[in-house]
Amino acid sequence: MKYPRNDQYEIFIHKNQVRCFDDPNWDVVPETETIHTWIRSQPSGWYNMESPHDRVAYYLDPKLYLMFKIKFS
């Protein structure tokens, strides 16, 4: 399967909601600082952003996206 963003999923945060447009089965979840902390603690390959987080995107490879989805959805 080919992912639309260079073989990565985009997690997009806007108005305190976390969205993934690349996964039709993703339900919007509320943004928490725990999400950002967890992302920043992962191996390189994630884009780290600092506050404020509105209109921020993280790009996850498929394995890390699956871990993210299990933990936060």
At residue 48, the pLDDT reads 46
At residue 53, the pLDDT reads 52
The single-letter code of the amino acid at 19 is: R
Domain extent, residue 39, equals: 9-72
Residue 2 domain-assigned (yes or no): no
Which residues lie across from 56 on neighbouring strands?
13
Mean pLDDT of the chain: 80
Using alpha carbons, list the distances in angstroms from residue 60 to 14, 18, 34, 46.
Answer: 17, 14, 17, 6
pLDDT tens-digit readout, 41-64: 877 655 544 455 556 788 888 888
Residue 50 domain-assigned (yes or no): yes
Residue 1 domain-assigned (yes or no): no
Q: What percent of the chain has pLDDT over 90?
A: 23
Residue 62 domain-assigned (yes or no): yes
Residue 4 domain-assigned (yes or no): no
Q: Residue written as tokens 């994630």?
A: 46
Task: Please report which confidence band the pLDDT of residue 22 belongs to, taking 50, 70 and 90 as the band edges.
Answer: confident
Q: How many domains does the chain have?
A: 1
